[in-house]
A and B are shown apart, each in its own frame.
Chain A
């Protein structure tokens, strides 16, 4: 049982507020991804959990034990670093054994565990090598093996795949997911890569400007962004936004089309729809095509709707050229509404399954 609770954590660097009242619970064996652009505070939060950074205020609990006053070594965590941090003066074997030796495990036990984790990470044949003789991917494996060998309650990972090339990243991603599921360790993983986050996470915490905007499972985050920020951040390309004017209670005018929407006091709302949730139709939102990018599976069409940019991913067979005017019809149950003043999503009971 390794549950992590973060209560009211804040962090200030001089006058700059890096983290602002963070509350988060990561349950046992959960794979939690902290996702956000650089500078959003995700790494700072991870380092506070690790004990490499001290929070200005708030509490960190691991396993019902308050740990924020403890040094990293006493927190029952292991960490994988962005640049791997494989000790250059030690062999791969000694790197993996490092933590076990520090915790004074008997040497037979150390040998056994090193070999077991090395096998798990497919680096048995590298045990005698030094870091300088390893490729980036191999170093990454050593770093993960070193963390796993500790059999920690919690494993923390700070953008561990960001220094690998694209193909290797894909391979390691799948492998990491398998290995961590196997080890039954609670994991917190920091990344700015949303595809990585989606593929790995049980739950994603999207962070922005020092706070957690939304913490939920990947599909929910994708389908039901809690804020306009999340809608504009997640997805490639992200959601389209159009201004909606109130026609009647629960009825909204979007670029000349009329849609059912939330009934609220506001006179304007942001209408949001994912590019793949619109189809070509006889009538619909009128869009002037600016750019057509054939991407194989589909066409990515960038259009202009009443002066706003609007992207649609359409069937590759669609015969569309620059300058055409097309009509787009959104899939009604995928429409989301945001309040312009604070960016919060306006809920419509039937959309929230």
Chain B
């Protein structure tokens, strides 16, 4: 009988080691570039333009200050916030009722309507901005916050419909029916029963709409001239602006994204899970 002197190499343990390393590397792949952007943003303009780079931020806010004082930048930031907020409100107000209708009713034309919604995903939507630019000039909507918000709502509303559809579908019809038998009409049952249950999900899809608008570049660049949004402003000045300005701008663009993903992380998968079908 031979004694095994050392513990046999467990292939499963090796596998787990490889697995953990892979997870770590993929996390680094995502976070690394972000970290480098933060290093650049939190360094002085001199450091940003110097060579070689350090890999630790100086925690110097000159770049950010420079960015905020740059002519037109705060205006663009404010425009972005307004357009995104308006988009968020409009896409939920317009999209949620349709999501409710899809989840609760069988009606003629439902399939056609669903296809129209899905179709929007198969089309390069920002291109819409081209004819709308002409149309908006005629109607006086050109270069306005509202006009751009309308286009961004077109981008966001199919998502709002599909996401709210899946959210409403997650709430059993029985709950509403129970409320009806207990003295509610359609509206009060919706307010007392459906709304409280759906509110977190609605918030998540509202934030989703906000970010769609916040991040949109092409339509914003096409439709605004004086009232540039942040993305459009940065795009316009890409060739000419200094590095530290670009990085600070990128940083401001990224921050809401981080908060967004954190805020909706619970809903992200549920939203896509059902919206897929």
Tell whether A71 pairs with B174 under 8 Å between CB atoms, given A52-B180, A87-B193, A89-B197: no
Are A78 and B172 in contact, CB atoms less than 8 angstroms apart? no
Chain A interface residue count, CB cutoff 8 Å, equals 23
User: In this complex, which of A52, A78, A85 has the most chain B Cβ atoms within 10 angstroms of its Cβ?
Assistant: A85
Residue of A nearest to B175 (CB): A85
Residue of A nearest to B174 (CB): A85
Are A88 and B188 in contact, CB atoms less than 8 angstroms apart? no
Flag whether A72 is at the interface (Cβ < 8 A). Answer: yes
Interface string of A87-105 (1 = CB under 8 A from B): 1110000000011001100
Residue of A nearest to B197 (CB): A89
Tell whether A77 pairs with B181 under 8 Å between CB atoms, given A85-B175, A89-B196: yes
Interface string of A63-86 (1 = CB under 8 A from B): 000000001110001110111010
**Residues of B close to A87: CB separation below 8 A:** 175, 178-179, 193
Are B197 and A88 in contact, CB atoms less than 8 angstroms apart? yes
Are A50 and B181 in contact, CB atoms less than 8 angstroms apart? yes
**Residues of B close to A78: CB separation below 8 A:** 181-182
CA distance A83 to B196 in the complex (A): 20
Closest approach, in angstroms, between the C-beta of B167 and any C-beta of chain A?
14
Are B183 and A81 in contact, CB atoms less than 8 angstroms apart? no
**Residues of A close to B181: CB separation below 8 A:** 50-52, 72-73, 77-79, 99, 156
Closest approach, in angstroms, between the C-beta of A101 and any C-beta of chain B?
8
Flag whether A301 is at the interface (Cβ < 8 A). Answer: no
**Residues of A close to B179: CB separation below 8 A:** 87, 98
Chain B interface residue count, CB cutoff 8 Å, equals 17
Are B174 and A81 in contact, CB atoms less than 8 angstroms apart? yes
Are A51 and B197 in contact, CB atoms less than 8 angstroms apart? no
Flag whether A113 is at the interface (Cβ < 8 A). Answer: no
CA distance A98 to B176 in the complex (A): 12
Closest approach, in angstroms, between the C-beta of B192 and any C-beta of chain A?
8
Flag whether A139 is at the interface (Cβ < 8 A). Answer: no
**Residues of B close to A99: CB separation below 8 A:** 181-183
Flag whether A221 is at the interface (Cβ < 8 A). Answer: no
Closest approach, in angstroms, between the C-beta of B219 and any C-beta of chain A?
39
- Pick the contact of B182: A52, A82, A88, A150 (CB < 8 A): A150
Flag whether B141 is at the interface (Cβ < 8 A). Answer: no
Flag whether A146 is at the interface (Cβ < 8 A). Answer: yes
Are A51 and B174 in contact, CB atoms less than 8 angstroms apart? no
- Pick the contact of A102: B172, B174, B183 (CB < 8 A): B183
**Residues of B close to A79: CB separation below 8 A:** 177-178, 181
**Residues of A close to B175: CB separation below 8 A:** 85, 87-88
Are A102 and B197 in contact, CB atoms less than 8 angstroms apart? no
**Residues of A close to B182: CB separation below 8 A:** 73, 78, 98-99, 102, 146, 150
Flag whether B185 is at the interface (Cβ < 8 A). Answer: yes
Closest approach, in angstroms, between the C-beta of B64 and any C-beta of chain A?
42
**Residues of B close to A82: CB separation below 8 A:** 174
User: In this complex, which of B175, B179, B182 has the most chain A Cβ atoms within 10 angstroms of its Cβ?
Assistant: B182
Are B183 and A73 in contact, CB atoms less than 8 angstroms apart? yes
Flag whether B184 is at the interface (Cβ < 8 A). Answer: yes
Are A73 and B174 in contact, CB atoms less than 8 angstroms apart? no
**Residues of A close to B184: CB separation below 8 A:** 73, 102
Closest approach, in angstroms, between the C-beta of B116 and any C-beta of chain A?
23
Closest approach, in angstroms, between the C-beta of B138 and any C-beta of chain A?
46
Closest approach, in angstroms, between the C-beta of A151 and any C-beta of chain B?
12
Residue of B nearest to A150 (CB): B182
CA distance A102 to B191 in the complex (A): 12
Are B193 and A81 in contact, CB atoms less than 8 angstroms apart? no
Closest approach, in angstroms, between the C-beta of A53 and any C-beta of chain B?
10
Are A83 and B185 in contact, CB atoms less than 8 angstroms apart? no
**Residues of A close to B174: CB separation below 8 A:** 81-83, 85
Tell whether A73 pairs with B185 under 8 Å between CB atoms, given A52-B180, A81-B177: yes
Residue of A nearest to B196 (CB): A89
Are A71 and B197 in contact, CB atoms less than 8 angstroms apart? no
CA distance A320 to B175 in the complex (A): 55
**Residues of B close to A146: CB separation below 8 A:** 178, 182
Tell whether A103 pairs with B178 under 8 Å between CB atoms, given A85-B172, A88-B197: no
Are B178 and A51 in contact, CB atoms less than 8 angstroms apart? no
Are B178 and A81 in contact, CB atoms less than 8 angstroms apart? yes
Which residues of B approach A to under 8 Å, CB–CB?
A: 172, 174-175, 177-185, 188, 192-193, 196-197
A-B contact pairs, 10 of them (CB 8 A): A52-B181, A72-B177, A81-B178, A85-B175, A89-B193, A89-B196, A99-B183, A102-B188, A102-B192, A156-B181
10 further interface pairs, Cβ-Cβ under 8 Å (given A102-B188, A146-B178)? A50-B181, A72-B180, A79-B177, A82-B174, A83-B174, A85-B172, A85-B178, A87-B179, A87-B193, A102-B184
Which residues of A approach B to under 8 Å, CB–CB?
A: 50-52, 71-73, 77-79, 81-83, 85, 87-89, 98-99, 102-103, 146, 150, 156
